[in-house]
């Protein structure tokens, strides 16, 4: 599968690349493996695009330093494409990346008012959510099923013609535009997204097809920087969370003792967010978890968000993996 990480903020691009390379080194160092969500579909990259694939990573990553409108004009994709957008619980999309996305959906059409598209999506999602979109949940709109409205036909847009974007995936990161106070919300949003993609692609835990003829694969997934606009998250921390979520979701720790291997992933998340596994209290549970924790991890001093007046931070990736036995 092809992950297209896109943002006009060059610092975000640099941070994404840095954390990506760190994760690749970790996978190599611990002799771990990654599994694909689905087969990737590649396209030629322009000068502003960096495509990164390695033998140790079956998923393809592309980093694009520009806005979504530039990407629509300058790129072509094959296969089915979905695009992610952070939004709010009322599905108003008149600011930040949301607005650029709507304007991109107008390119190639005779419609110039982004509100035309916003109303179509908003009506559909608010009906689905009964008037409220739950933060960190996934709301998917099949753009090919949008009705022709006030002369607007999505199929005429360059976004569909050039990128084959067939669905938009909204992840409300906040109820109203405001600062995000818990960095775990971003991780939860990414995990929900990846779970949705895996389910949509008809894959179970073991990787077998589930009624493969009735589902469409997502071959390309466009994801912008999340939480750094209205959310005021630090670029270095937010990009670290996004890359860590993608790598950990696709991390394959083997089929031997599958339950305990999944608990290792759970523990990696706990350490990442400075959550003390000993708070589970039950002695048998703690004993089992500690059988998976390294000596280094047992001596970590956990720091909660309340321990500091500054913006919350997460553990560095190199340190996280030192905490678990592999």
Q: How many CA atoms lie within 13 A of 132 on its CB side?
A: 5
Secondary structure letter of residue 8 according to DSSP? S
Between strands 57-65 and 49-54, the pairing is antiparallel
Q: Which two tokens stand for residue 204?
A: 């179970």
Cα dihedral sign, 267-268-269-270: positive
Q: How far apart are CA 123 and CA 118, in angstroms?
A: 8
Q: Which two tokens stand for residue 34?
A: 């990654």
pTM of the model: 0.88
Q: What residues are paired with 3 via a beta bridge?
A: 61, 221
Measured in whole angstroms, the distance separating CA 233 from the mean position of its chain's CA atoms is: 16
Judge contact between 223 and 3, C-beta under 8 A.
Answer: yes
Domains of the chain: 2-252 (3.40.220.10), 256-326 (no CATH)
Judge contact between 279 and 270, C-beta under 8 A.
Answer: no
Give pLDDT tens digits along the chain (326 positions).
899 999 999 999 999 999 999 999 999 999 999 987 653 333 333 345 566 655 567 789 999 999 999 999 999 999 999 999 999 999 999 988 999 999 999 999 999 999 999 999 999 999 999 999 999 999 999 999 999 988 999 999 999 999 999 999 999 988 998 888 788 889 999 999 999 998 888 754 444 444 444 346 899 999 999 988 888 889 999 999 999 999 999 999 877 888 999 999 999 999 999 999 999 989 999 999 999 999 999 999 987 655 555 556 799 999 999 999 99
Judge contact between 114 and 103, C-beta under 8 A.
Answer: yes
Measured in whole angstroms, the distance separating CA 197 from the mean position of its chain's CA atoms is: 10
Q: In angstroms, what CA-CA distances link 156 with 78, 103, 105, 148? A: 17, 14, 9, 11
Judge contact between 299 and 244, C-beta under 8 A.
Answer: no
């Amino acid at each position: 599968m092809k992950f297209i990480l896109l943002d006009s903020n060059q610092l975000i691009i640099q941070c994404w690349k840095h954390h990506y390379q760190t994760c690749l080194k970790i996978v190599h160092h611990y002799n771990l493996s990654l599994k694909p969500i689905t087969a990737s579909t590649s396209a030629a990259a322009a000068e502003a695009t960096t495509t990164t694939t390695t033998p140790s990573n079956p998923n393809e990553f592309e980093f694009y330093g520009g806005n979504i409108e530039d990407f629509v004009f300058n790129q072509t994709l094959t296969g089915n494409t979905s695009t992610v957008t952070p939004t709010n619980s009322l599905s108003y999309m008149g600011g930040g990346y949301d607005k650029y996305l709507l304007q991109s959906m107008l390119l190639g059409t005779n419609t110039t008012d982004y509100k035309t598209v916003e109303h179509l999506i908003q009506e559909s999602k608010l009906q689905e959510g009964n008037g409220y979109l739950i933060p960190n949940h996934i709301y998917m709109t099949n753009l090919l099923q949008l009705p022709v409205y006030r002369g607007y036909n999505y199929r005429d847009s360059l976004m569909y013609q050039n990128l084959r974007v067939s669905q938009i995936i909204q992840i409300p990161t906040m109820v109203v535009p405001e600062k995000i106070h818990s960095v775990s919300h971003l991780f939860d949003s990414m995990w929900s997204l990846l779970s949705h993609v895996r389910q949509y692609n008809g894959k179970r835990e073991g990787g077998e097809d589930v009624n493969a003829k009735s589902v469409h694969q997502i071959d390309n997934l466009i994801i912008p920087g999340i939480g750094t606009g209205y959310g005021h998250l630090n670029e270095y921390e937010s990009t670290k969370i996004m890359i860590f979520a993608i790598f950990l979701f696709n991390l394959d720790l083997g089929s031997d003792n599958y339950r305990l291997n999944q608990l290792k992933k759970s523990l990696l998340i706990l350490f990442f967010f400075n959550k003390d596994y000993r708070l589970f209290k039950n002695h048998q549970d703690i004993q089992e978890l500690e059988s998976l924790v390294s000596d280094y991890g047992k001596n970590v001093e956990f720091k909660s968000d309340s321990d500091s007046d500054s913006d919350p931070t997460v553990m560095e990736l190199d340190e996280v993996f030192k905490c678990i036995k592999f």
